[in-house]
């Protein structure tokens, strides 16, 4: 929640014109409201301090982990850094939030749209394919449009795209469990360099 939004909510809650209305609705007087207001003010101050401390500690640990390390920690490569901010509001485990920030992708479209890859592996478990008709449709009907994209069947693997650099090294792993066929097509058109024609 932004500071302006939080401040706006605070102003709504502490509006003196609401005291009689609230009193008639829930049966408390202005004295109780004053006590409640002090309690909320204290809570608000503590929340601001916690957010600032968390921001400073997360800023200090801004190192990025490899996609394999992130996957081992349980992060799929789909998290945006704004998702980690939301996570920090609800989860009090600072180490988990820190790991999230080490594995997230910046929200800025400029940074992510410029990155392209030389190829990709579409990794999926053959036994689980029946649960992913959109992925099956892509493999059967659309995959031939992308000669640098290979399908790799790995036991118990959820569907994911493993993006590769020029020498075939993994650069990014993206889960595509809930993607529609057109999303897979659009992503590969934007992210995978076409093969150079001889």
Model pLDDT for residues 131-180, shown as the tens digit of each residue: 999 999 999 999 999 999 999 999 999 999 999 999 999 988 999 988 99
Round the average pLDDT of the chain to a whole number and report it: 76
d(Cα 28, Cα 25) in Å, to the nearest integer?
Answer: 8
| Structure confidence at residue 115 (pLDDT) | 80
Claim to verify: residue 87 and residue 43 sit in the same structural domain? no
Q: Identify whether residues 50 and 67 lie together within a single domain.
A: no
- Same domain for 178 and 120: yes
Percent of the chain with pLDDT over 70: 61
Q: 46 versus 172: which is more confidently predicted?
A: 172
The answer to whether position 29 is within a domain reads: yes
Identify the three-state secondary structure at position 69: helix
Question: Please, are residues 158 and 129 in contact by the beta-carbon 8 Å criterion?
Answer: no
- Assess if residue 46 is contained within a domain: yes
Domain identity same for 6 and 39: yes
Residue 197, in any domain of the structure: no
- Average pLDDT value for residue range 177-184: 90
Question: Both 119 and 79 in a single domain?
Answer: no
* 50 and 74 within one domain: no
End residue of a domain, out of 108, 143, 176: 108
More confident position, 10 or 181: 181
Structure tokens, 184: 């897979």
Mean pLDDT, range 34-63, rounded to an integer: 57
Q: Which residue range forms the structural domain that includes residue 171?
A: 115-191
Does 21 have pLDDT greater than 70? no
Q: Let me know if residue 198 belongs to a domain.
A: no
Q: What is the C-alpha to C-alpha distance for residues 117 and 193, in angstroms, rounded to an integer? A: 6
Residues 32 and 76 in one domain: no
Taking the alpha carbons of 80, 85, 87, 93 in that order, is the dihedral positive or negative? positive
In this structure, are 133 and 158 located in the same domain? yes
146 and 173 fall within a common domain: yes
Looking at per-residue pLDDT, the higher value among 107 and 16 belongs to 107
User: What is the CATH classification number for the domain harbouring 165?
Assistant: 3.40.30.50
β-pair type (119-124, 149-153): parallel
pLDDT number for residue 136: 95
- Would 136 be classed as within a structural domain? yes
Q: Please indicate, yes or no, if residue 68 is contained in any of the structural domains.
A: yes
Answer yes or no: is pLDDT of 198 > 50: no
- DSSP states of 108-153 as a string? -HHHHHS--BSEEEEEE-GGGGGG-HHHHHIIIIIGGG-TTEEEEE
Task: Answer whether residue 184 is part of any domain.
Answer: yes
CB 173 within 8 A of CB 163: yes
31 and 79, same domain (yes or no): no
CA 151 to chain centroid, in Å, comes to: 26
Q: Within this chain, do residues 37 and 8 fall inside the same structural domain, yes or no? A: yes
Return the exposure string of 164-189: e unless at least 16 CB atoms fall within 10 Å of the residue's CB, then b. Answer: beeeeeeebbbebeebebeebbebbe
Residue 119 pLDDT exceeds 50: yes
Q: Which pTM was predicted? A: 0.47
Rounded distance between C-alpha atoms, residue 141 and residue 93, angstroms = 44
Identity of the highest mean pLDDT range in 51-55, 93-97, 124-128: 124-128
- Whole-angstrom distance, CA of residue 198 vs CA of residue 141: 25
pLDDT on residue 118: 92
- In this prediction, residue 112 has a pLDDT band, given cuts at 50, 70 and 90, of low
Residue 196 lies in a domain: no
Examine the fold and report which residue of 108, 142, 168 is the final residue of a domain before the chain moves on.
108
Q: Is the dihedral of CA 92, 95, 96, 102 positive or negative?
A: positive
121 in the same domain as 104: no
Predicted pLDDT of residue 30: 56
CB 75 within 8 Å of CB 105:
no
Q: How many domains does the chain have?
A: 3
The β-bridge partners of 173 are 162
**What pLDDT score does 26 carry?**
44
């Amino acid at each position: 929640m932004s500071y302006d939004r939080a401040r706006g909510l605070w102003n709504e809650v502490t509006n003196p014109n609401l005291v009689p209305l609230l009193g008639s609705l829930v049966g408390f007087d202005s004295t109780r409201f004053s006590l409640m207001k002090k309690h909320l003010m204290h809570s608000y101050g503590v929340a601001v301090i916690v957010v600032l401390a968390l921001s400073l500690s997360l800023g200090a640990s801004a190192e990025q982990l490899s996609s394999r390390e992130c996957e081992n920690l349980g992060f799929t490569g789909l998290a945006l850094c704004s998702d980690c901010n939301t996570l920090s509001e609800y989860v009090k485990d600072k180490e988990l939030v820190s790991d999230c920030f080490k594995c997230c992708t910046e929200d800025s479209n400029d940074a992510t749209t410029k990155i392209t890859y030389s190829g990709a592996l579409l990794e999926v478990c053959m036994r689980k394919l029946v649960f992913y008709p959109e992925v099956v449709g892509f493999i059967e009907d659309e995959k031939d449009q992308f000669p640098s994209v290979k399908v790799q069947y790995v036991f118990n693997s959820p569907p994911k795209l493993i993006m590769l650099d020029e020498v075939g090294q993994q650069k990014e792993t993206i889960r595509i469990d809930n993607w529609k066929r057109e999303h897979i097509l659009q992503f590969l058109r934007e992210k995978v360099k076409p093969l150079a024609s001889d």
